[in-house]
Amino acid sequence: MSKLLNRIVLVSTIVTRVVAQNGADSMKSLKDTFSTIADIHAGKVSLGRVTVAGWLRTKRGSKKFSFLELNDGTNSKTIQVVADAVLPNYESEIQKLTIGAAVCIEGELVESKGQGQKYEIVAKNVEVYGFADPDTYPLQKKEMTYEYLREQAHFRPRTATFAAMFRIRSRVSKFIHDFFEENGFYYAHTPIFTASDCEGGGNVFQVTTLPLEKIPRTPEGKVNYSEDFFGTPSFLTVSGQLEGELMALGLGKIYTFGPTFRAENSNTSRHLAEFWQIEPEMAFWNLTDTIQLGQDLVCYCVRRFLEECNDDLDLVVARNGVDPRPWLRMTLEKPFVRVSYTEAVKILQECGEKFEFPLGWGLDLQSEHERYLCEKHFQSPTVVYDYPADLKSFYMYMNEDGKTVHGADILVPGVGEIVGSSQREHRYDVLIERMHKKGLREEDYSWYLATRKFGTVPHAGFGLGLERLLMWMTGMGNIRDVVPFPRTPKNCLY
């Protein structure tokens, strides 16, 4: 009997424990206790009791009260918190708060009497999540150089300028997806590991699991790749194009949007070792069509950027002192200028400008030439088309002259090339001949060549660098400042 009683008692305690745990604080949502600063400024939070959490941007005050400016990353704005000295931890904690500290504020949302802000919070309770020792915290109130901040990239998202920049990056990525979706494209995921190097250009990062201290060799002394992970030399992709073509030659219109990698040891303000590329590919399209698509995509992004990102852009502009909006608006007003490579070279040779690099038909246009064309000569985004075949990749469509290919670059002021496009060579014999000329082996591209043997069609596409587009749209001068964690020669931190 007593045993049974014991059991009943045991069961009932377990039941109460389960009930208690379900209602316990440990399982309550944390995020649901907060309102975001974005929602407050959007008027979505009613006046009265409110809780917010964020990082301290500035603090001023006295023995009697303090004003804390908080930002939580949800948008460009801060909210002012008034903390009165009557708060129990005023002296012990609140007065010790410095820039970068993280706090949770419970208080009263009121309409602000001060200028420049609509709302403020009168604090009832200030909980400190984390102090930020001002002697060692890398961010200071005074303006810090971009060079310095690159060395502190782990804290750049906490600065007003970079938080704005990275929100813009997120928004623009969304615009790009929207554009393609609205125009009937499918999003294709092309591989990052690849055994082909796309352009045959070098500049590739090799990927291996072979022990570098003790590389396995064949009897002839060569690296024995049969022991490597993929059983063949493999690389990080420099472009999703070739696989993108395979997808387009079945789905019609596709685009890729992903990271691409180039071991360019150039250290310029426009090159990253890892950058994000958007690569549409369209079956039954020609060069004219793909150039138009490039222009339409760029203009679509600019239009939505000007409509939706002004608050963040204001912060970037305030820091740089250059407002890109006038030139962006101009861009929307007229079609991009189109000029053949041959004409472009003539213009550059006759313009009287002193260039560092040589000019001549057959030589590649350098950044200074590209920028002269669009910044000074045409004062417009400029499309240069029909380049000498020797300057461009094997897959570009050979023109009737036998010397130039149907490839085009879009150049923009301040940056230079942002889009590289071409109609693809879809004629099997011509493609094979071009590959031989470039020293490429057929067997390495058998799958690519197969698409030209079976049901081949004219097709075209381009590659747009997301970071170059962002530089141009925001007026940022260095590509390292439009990507959260730049990868450049000798720099792979984080």
- What is the SS3 assignment for 190? coil
Nearer to ligand ATP among residue 34 and residue 472 (C-beta):
472
Nearer to ligand ATP among residue 120 and residue 417 (C-beta):
417
Nearer to ligand ATP among residue 205 and residue 225 (C-beta):
205
Q: How far is the CB of 335 from ligand ATP (least distance, A)?
A: 19
Residue type, 173: S
If contact means CB under 5 to 8 A according to the sort of partner, which of ligand ATP, Mn ion, none does residue 481 touch?
none
Nearer to Mn ion among residue 69 and residue 417 (C-beta):
417
Tokens 């009557």 belong to: 86
Closest CA to 237 of 261, 268, 258, 253: 261
d(CA 193, CA 206): 9
Residues 412-431 that bind Mn ion (CB under 5 A): 420
Nearer to ligand ATP among residue 36 and residue 196 (C-beta):
196
If contact means CB under 5 to 8 A according to the sort of partner, which of ligand ATP, Mn ion, none does residue 77 touch?
none
Q: Which stretch binds ligand ATP (CB under 6 A): 54-62, 132-140, 344-352, 463-471?
A: 463-471
If contact means CB under 5 to 8 A according to the sort of partner, which of ligand ATP, Mn ion, none does residue 272 touch?
ligand ATP
Q: How far is the CB of 25 from Mn ion (least distance, A)?
A: 58
- What is the SS3 assignment for 423? strand
- Helices 287-308 and 310-320: crossing angle in degrees, nearest 10, is 90
Q: How far is the CB of 420 from Mn ion (least distance, A)?
A: 3
Asked if residue 400 lies in contact with residue 442, where contact means CB atoms within 8 angstroms, the answer is: no
207-246 footprint of ligand ATP as x/- string (CB under 6 A): ----------------------------------------
Q: How far is the CB of 262 from Mn ion (least distance, A)?
A: 11
Nearer to ligand ATP among residue 81 and residue 419 (C-beta):
419
CB atoms within 10 A of CB 17: 11
Residues 149-168 that bind ligand ATP (CB under 6 A): none
Q: How far is the CB of 409 from Mn ion (least distance, A)?
A: 5
Residue 199 tokens read as: 């352009």
| CA-only gyration radius of the chain, Å | 29
d(CA 15, CA 28): 20
Nearer to ligand ATP among residue 272 and residue 309 (C-beta):
272
Nearer to ligand ATP among residue 83 and residue 396 (C-beta):
396
Using CB under 6 A, which of 463, 473, 475, 476 touches ligand ATP? 463
Which residues have CB under 8 Å from 439's CB, separation 6+? 200
CA dist 291 → 38, 240, 372, 385, 422 (Å) = 39, 19, 21, 9, 8
Q: How far is the CB of 473 from ligand ATP (least distance, A)?
A: 13
Answer yes or no whether residue 339 interacts with ligand ATP by CB under 6 A. no
Residues 260-299 that bind ligand ATP (CB under 6 A): 262, 264, 271-272, 275, 277
Closest CA to 56 of 81, 22, 76: 81
> Could you tell me which residues are beta bridge partners of residue 186?
254
Q: How far is the CB of 294 from ligand ATP (least distance, A)?
A: 10
Residues 410-449 that bind ligand ATP (CB under 6 A): 417-420
If contact means CB under 5 to 8 A according to the sort of partner, which of ligand ATP, Mn ion, none does residue 467 touch?
ligand ATP
d(CA 228, CA 240): 23
Nearer to ligand ATP among residue 381 and residue 420 (C-beta):
420
Dihedral (CA of 429, 435, 439, 444) sign: negative
Using CB under 6 A, which of 465, 470, 474, 475 touches ligand ATP? 465
Binding residues for Mn ion, how many (CB under 5 A)?
A: 1
Q: How far is the CB of 281 from ligand ATP (least distance, A)?
A: 13
Binding residues for ligand ATP, how many (CB under 6 A)?
A: 15
Residue 112 tokens read as: 């602000």
Inter-residue long-range contacts of 294-298, CB under 8 Å, 24+ positions, other chains counted = 294/383, 294/410, 294/419, 294/421, 294/462, 294/464, 295/335, 295/336, 295/381, 295/383, 295/410, 296/179, 297/176, 297/179, 297/464, 298/331, 298/381, 298/410, 298/418, 298/419, 298/464, 298/469
Nearer to ligand ATP among residue 298 and residue 339 (C-beta):
298
Q: How far is the CB of 372 from Mn ion (least distance, A)?
A: 17
Nearer to ligand ATP among residue 264 and residue 308 (C-beta):
264
Asked if residue 431 lies in contact with residue 395, where contact means CB atoms within 8 angstroms, the answer is: yes
Residues 34-93 that bind Mn ion (CB under 5 A): none
d(CA 305, CA 168): 8
Asked if residue 291 lies in contact with residue 385, where contact means CB atoms within 8 angstroms, the answer is: yes
Q: How far is the CB of 405 from Mn ion (least distance, A)?
A: 12
Residue numbers of the site for ligand ATP (CB under 6 A)? 262, 264, 271-272, 275, 277, 417-420, 463-465, 467-468
Residue numbers of the site for Mn ion (CB under 5 A)? 420
